[in-house]
Structure 1
Amino acid sequence: MMRQADPITTKNKLNQHQAFKISRFKPLIKKTKPHKHEGYFELIFIAEGEGFHWIETENFQIKAPDFYFLKPGQLHFWQFTAIPKGYVMMFREEFIDAVREMKILQQMQQMGDLTRIPVWEDPMVGQIFEDILQAYQEQPLNSDDLIKGYLRVLFAKIANRIRSTPSNGKENPLCDKFLSMLSQQNPIRHQVADYAELLQTSPQNLNQACKKKTGKSASKHLSAQLILEAKRNILHTDQNINQIADLLQFNDASYFVKFFKKHTGETPHQFRSRYFGDL
């Protein structure tokens, strides 16, 4: 895999007035550059095609039928070796009514960090995507309600397939807002107190909320996000360690190296060499 010299880009394929969009995959064999999406989710169904889908630091071999769910701020790119057929659906969280569509939001939260639905061979899935595409293109009366009805069915099928349950049965909007903010903020702030201030709470309350929701403190989530951003730039750009430390707003490169090794067990150079060898 070749790395790009340019910084990782953030794409926004929804304009400011759009909350939902669906389209078919372009019938092209191509490789995309590593990128993130700003402020929206992606549901991707691949009915036919071969190649690879890299999400964060994990490389999936495409095995159609294949299904992916990407959250705002996640990095990914494609490398197809056969013409793909399928659908890409994009929507902002506000497209899902928090009152009327609470079940969909709960099912999305239950998926946690899962990005790929394993062994997705339900014959109805392709037809659901096609029906959503038709409703989106033809815009019949109450098309949004129609699309959301299809989404309810789709997410119910996903929930049944992965059989996942939340770590805690209670909603925790404070932790949810923090995790959403953490995944999308650039650059990432290094202190929990900064996020607590933005969320108009105390660091103690924020830590407690995250522990209750996920079993991990806000500071652990913050460190994990910093490591994730570091790995993204180590793997997907040609920036040196000093540049990456500066990008992530560490005081100096030596502290960044110590921080990275503390949380991963290896230095940034060792991590890069493990993927690419000594370059």
Structure 2
Amino acid sequence: MEKEVKEIGKKNKIEKELIIKVSKMKPVIKPTKPHRHEGYHELIFLNQGSGYHVVDDIKHEVRPPVGFYLNFGQVHCWDFSKIPEGFVVMFKEEALAKYPAALDNLFRLHNKFNLPRQDSILMDQLNLFYRDFKANEPLELLSAHLNTIILKTLYLPALKDQVHPSFVSEFSRLKKLLNDNYIKLRTVEEYANLMNLSSRKLNQICQAAAGCNTIEIIKEKLLIESKNLLTHTNLPVNEVAYQLNFSDASNFIKFFKSQTTLTPLEYRARLLS
């Protein structure tokens, strides 16, 4: 009997014809399977609930009021121990066509951020956003709501320090290119060429925006995707190496161990311990 191949699931919770969708958290505590969302960003705001939220390889304790930001393709799952309450905002990038700065601001959000405990203004704005979405208000109004929510979230105390606007824009562009090309492109020079920048300038941008050089950003993305496949699938190591475009399994193992001090099999074994 052939062994069933376990793969990372994909979910599309935003209908094809929609650009923005606002919903309330489902009042259930059933654990979800690890999955990724394709083609849209997601902002989650919780004012009730408890449990855990696993994003890529990081396990976050859910202690409301708290928020989460998910970029394209991030793998996540929930395991609530108390009924959650809050809002989920899903949106495609075209929703912010009139607000280009909002797209640049997204990368500056933490994957997890604290919400103001005493101030209900943000939740009131989210409730209004939800009501306008349910009332089928025009996209122009919904996009304005979304821009306001992003700006409100950006200036919460837990966020990153200010970065020069030009670096914000270029770093955001790099992250988008990396999401689309990490399988095939692995060098600083390749991304610098795509951006019409020198490698030195691109490294300068990454240092200012993220505190590390470009090759570390590239390796971090590759490591995250490696961990996703090792954690959420049962693919053999050589197949993981193939899917990530390594020349062979030994090169993948060498890369993974250089980043984690563990071999892929050792990493998997620790997940089960």
Q: Give the Å deviation of 1:207.
A: 4.8
Check if 1:165 corresponds to 2:161. yes
How many Å separate the matches in 2 of 1:69 and 1:118? 11
Q: Does 1:248 align with 2:236?
A: no
**Pair 199,240 (structure 1): closer, same or farther in 2 beyond 3 Å:** same
In 2, distance between residues paired with 1:198 and 1:104? 22
Partner of 1:48: 48
Choose which of 152, 156, 167 in structure 2 pairs with 1:156.
152
1:147-200: CA deviations, max 9, x gaps? Answer: 524641563254133253234443454442221121244745334455456556
Equivalent position of 1:123 in the other structure: 120
Residue aligned with 1:239, SS: coil
1:107/1:156 contact within 8 Å kept: no
Which of 99, 102, 105 is residue 104 of structure 1 equivalent to? Answer: 102
Paired positions, count: 269
Q: Secondary structure at the match of 1:250?
A: coil
Deviation at 1:264, TM superposition (A): 1.9
Equivalence for 1:139: 136
Q: CA RMSD in A?
A: 2.9
Instruction: Please list the CA deviations of residues 119-141 of structure 1 after superposition, one character each: whole Å capped at 9, or x if unmatched.
Output: 5423223222211111111134x
CA distance in 2, matches of 1:262, 1:46: 37
After TM superposition, the score normalised by the length of structure 2 is 0.83
In the other structure, the counterpart of 1:224 is 220
Structure 1 unaligned spans of 5+: none
Q: Is 1:125–1:154's contact at 8 Å kept on the other side of the alignment?
A: no
Query: What amino acid maps onto 1:176 in structure 2?
Result: S
SS of equivalent to 1:51: strand
Pick which of 205-214 and 117-126 moved more. Answer: 205-214
User: CA 1:120–1:33 in 2, change beyond 3 Å: closer, same or farther?
Assistant: farther
Confirm or deny that 1:234 pairs with 2:230: yes
Task: Answer whether contact 2:113 2:159 (CA < 8 A) is retained.
Answer: no
Change (3 A) 1:173 1:47: closer
Q: Larger deviation: 162-171 or 89-98?
A: 162-171
CA contact (8 A) 1:46 1:67 kept: yes
**Structure 2 unaligned residues grouped into runs of 5+:** none
Corresponding residue of 1:35 = 35
Supply the distance in 2 between the matched residues of 1:249 and 1:153 (Cα, whole angstroms): 38
C-alpha distance in structure 1 between counterparts of 2:69 and 2:102, whole Å: 14
Return closer, same or farther for 1:154/1:245 CA change in 2, 3 Å cut-off: closer
Give the conservation status (yes or no) of the 8 Å contact 2:43–2:70. yes
Compute the displacement of 1:41 (Å).
Answer: 1.3
Which range moved further: 248-257 or 43-52?
A: 43-52
Most deviating of 227-236 and 203-212:
203-212
Change (3 A) 1:182 1:11: farther
C-alpha distance in 2 between matches for 1:171 and 1:80: 38
1:94-140 C-alpha deviation (Å, 9 max, x unpaired): 21135xx35534543432xx111125423223222211111111134
